[in-house]
Structure 1
Amino acid sequence: MTENAKKSEKTILLLSVSAGAGHARAAEAIRAYAELADPSCRVIHLDVMDYVTTGFRKIYTDFYMRLVNRAPTLWGYLYNYSNDARSDSSMEKLRRSLERWNAKALLREIANLHPDAIICTHFLPAEMLARLIARRELHCPVWVQVTDFDLHRMWVHAGIAGYFAANQEVAFRLRAHGIAANAIHVTGIPIMPAFAQTLSRAVCAQEFGLDPSRLTILLMGGGAGLGNLDELAARLLELRIDLENTCSQCQLVVLAGKNLKSLQALQSLAQFYPKRLFPFGFTSQVERLMACADLVVTKPGGLTTSECLAMGLPMIVNAPIPGQEERNADFVMEQGVALKAVDALALAYRVQELIAQPDKLSNMAARAKSLGKPNAAKTVFEHVLSSLI
């Protein structure tokens, strides 16, 4: 390789936080696109939690997960409280001091990598790096990718090169916080390149043993607040009674992820519903299962919501946790691409309502497709890379 070629190579560092899966998935989507588009560009993805103390990690990730699963109302209060808190309050100063003390290993790693640009898919590294920028200790541009359809104050910091927003409302809120309009880019939320492909429903259905002619419902997530996945599946499969057998031809695909207990319960239930219930554990082919679906029942995380929109899938959002998921749910409902289920009974009613109104389901699908931004990762990567040339 020539010396000029070496000089032209760029290093882009992606920083995420493993508090929920969405932030890491957004970073991985950018990295995956970069590998396809420009192999000469070195793109490195780091989880900030790998560079902090054990105690800080437990508070930031383990405590967060317990809180949203066991005390969602309390999490909603903290979300709103921290959004409204003054940046010069005693609690905010203490929080930033703890972060600064825990960030030393991360900052050393950044110095070792010498990145040409940094993209943060979580507000924590953005806040850490903003302090370095203010002290002129970091000289490469730092970009921020907001990973929800709403903006929390903790995403906003001085000295950031630019922001990538999920929608126009997030851009509006960024401007209201004093971010210059020319530093804001409405790109959508990065999702894996596979979601930008044109997939054949018939081909994908054959891969999973599904009937492409049947109305297919995809149930995703842990069903928090609604009951166990097998219980939800059983309730949905029984809807044929209410719908005068309309639903007897429906297929239900359920993704249990890494929850082996749920998967085993679903597999047992599937024996009573041959060719109608299809349970899966963790899969890297979600986009191919989505290509088979007519309706998705899911929790409204920013990444999952973006994937559904990219695939043109109407949604029923189930029991969103207060805070960012509630705001995401509000967005898709306002846009006419989702209904909301607050409990298992409401879920059964919403599914019944949509199956009985195929024109409404079709209109929701068309609207979802029009809102989808399957090329967000491409747009983000190319924008950052072009800014370095």
Structure 2
Amino acid sequence: MLDPQAREAETLSSTEAHSSEPRVLLVTERTLGEGHRSAARALAEAFRRLVPGLSPVIATTLPAHVEWVFNAVYGHTLTKNPALWGAAYETELWTGPLMKPIVSNPMRRNVRRLVARYKPHIVLATHALPVHAFARMRKRGAPYVFGVAITDFGGNSFWTDKYVDAFFVANEEIGRRIAARYRLPEERFVPTGIPIHPVFAAGEEERRRRREEKRRALGIGEEPLILLFGGGEGLFDFPSLIHALDKLTLPFSLLVLTGRNTFLWETLRTLRGSLRHKLFPYGFLEDPQEIFDIYLAGDLLISKAGGLTVSEALAVGLPMVLHRPIPGQESRNTDYLLEKEAALYAPRPDILVRTVEFLLREPERRRELAERARSLGRPDAALRIARHMLTLYAQSRKPAQTSP
């Protein structure tokens, strides 16, 4: 029987999985942060929109005890010694090939069970850890097309394997870089964008309407709305940062997402009465439409540089100030956005406050950042990825051409 911990809550029953053609298996993991799972949910919705009646399965592969150890070590490293994680990331070119078989070994049994149970035609990974195990099965002749959606503006060796049929990347430039670094065929890298929920592909008229409705619901007038994200992992001292921003005399309101950090959410609720600026604390949000509306209502985003968060902000053209990115994947995301002049970087709280003050005083600079962000946005990325995988599946079903 499949380990219950090897399945996401969104996973559908095996009966449903077998009732539609093609059968789609989306694999992710419950590691810290929501980005990888959000990408899987976005892709599931994209497949459903393209093929009505399709029931994609979302599953995880790490056994429960391995998942707990991984998250404990990862979380401790990020909070106590983030530079160590950054150093590990920088050496992955030569350590990755050694570590991939070791890391993937605990999940191989669950991978075999998933494939045996759901008999997928399409497997699509939104997390790096299961890639090697599914690629090994592909090497041994497993009859599915295998895609990998890389959820950052860069990659590492855990995302890559020569038995992957298609890699979906943020853009052509990123694809070329990863292909060259890991000596993979460039034609396998498809510049779709990072998969965000299809609601972000709404037209301009609907976006304007939803922005007005959300701001009206919040009771916001003409003052800028600052969004503060990244509280779920507890890597920011949000209360201190909010007090520092509240000292600014310029008018603005502040909306904070605390994710699954209920202690932080309660703390901010009690803090509201002592601030001169309006504060709207939100906990974990599951409705992608509500998340989209919050982005639309905002005028400036302060956040870490998670691949999904950044991609959602780019899709709506939201100016960003990046603060305390995780060394490794998020520092590479930061470097890319700074290179494209699509965001500003504030490494310390005092610099962050000064940067926010500058942008509040200079709406034209905010507009410039918004235009650059919008030019990089790929709001329809999930739909493009799903469409490409369906095409690969259709091609795999065609009978092989034989010579006369």
Q: TM-score of the superposition, structure 1-length normalised? A: 0.88
Match of residue 120, structure 1, among 121, 125, 136: 125
2:172/2:190 contact within 8 Å kept: no
The 3 A distance-change label for structure 1 pair 313 and 301 is: same
Partner secondary structure for residue 142 of structure 1: strand
Q: Which residue of the partner structure matches residue 304 of structure 2?
A: 299
Alpha-carbon shift at residue 38 of structure 1 (Å): 1.8
Structure 1 residue 214 corresponds to structure 2 residue 223: yes
* Structure 2 unaligned regions, length at least 5: 1-17, 395-404
Paired with 1:183 and 1:331, the residues of 2 have a C-alpha distance of 22
Alpha-carbon shift at residue 335 of structure 1 (Å): 1.3
What pairs up with 1:125-164 in 2 under 5 angstroms?
125-136=130-141, 138-164=142-168
Partner secondary structure for residue 100 of structure 1: helix
1:298/1:315 contact within 8 Å kept: yes
Paired with 2:90 and 2:300, the residues of 1 have a C-alpha distance of 31
The 3 A distance-change label for structure 1 pair 102 and 9 is: closer
C-alpha RMSD of matched pairs (Å): 2.1
The 3 A distance-change label for structure 1 pair 114 and 56 is: same
Structure 1 residue 373 corresponds to structure 2 residue 378: yes
Q: Which residue of the partner structure matches residue 69 of structure 1?
A: 79
1:161/1:183 contact within 8 Å kept: yes
What whole-Å deviation, never above 9, does each CA across 1:255-308 have from its counterpart, x for those lacking one?
222222222222222213366222222223221111111100001100000000
Partner secondary structure for residue 262 of structure 1: helix
Alpha-carbon shift at residue 355 of structure 1 (Å): 1.6
Q: Match for 1:44: what amino acid?
A: V
Alpha-carbon shift at residue 320 of structure 1 (Å): 0.7
Structure 1 residue 82 corresponds to structure 2 residue 86: no
Match of residue 239, structure 1, among 248, 253, 260: 248
Paired with 1:192 and 1:223, the residues of 2 have a C-alpha distance of 20
1:314/1:338 contact within 8 Å kept: yes
1:225/1:343 contact within 8 Å kept: no
Higher mean alpha-carbon deviation, 216-225 vs 107-116, is at 216-225
The 3 A distance-change label for structure 1 pair 64 and 225 is: closer
Match of residue 47, structure 1, among 50, 53, 60: 60
1:188/1:376 contact within 8 Å kept: yes
Of all paired residues, the percent bearing the same amino acid is 31
Instruction: Count the aligned residue pairs.
Output: 367
Paired with 1:290 and 1:101, the residues of 2 have a C-alpha distance of 39
Paired with 1:60 and 1:206, the residues of 2 have a C-alpha distance of 43
Partner secondary structure for residue 104 of structure 1: helix
Paired with 1:262 and 1:97, the residues of 2 have a C-alpha distance of 36
Partner secondary structure for residue 218 of structure 1: strand
Higher mean alpha-carbon deviation, 252-261 vs 289-298, is at 252-261
Structure 1 residue 17 corresponds to structure 2 residue 29: yes
Partner secondary structure for residue 357 of structure 2: helix
Paired with 2:79 and 2:54, the residues of 1 have a C-alpha distance of 39
Over 4 Å off, 4+ runs: 223-227
Alpha-carbon shift at residue 225 of structure 1 (Å): 8.9
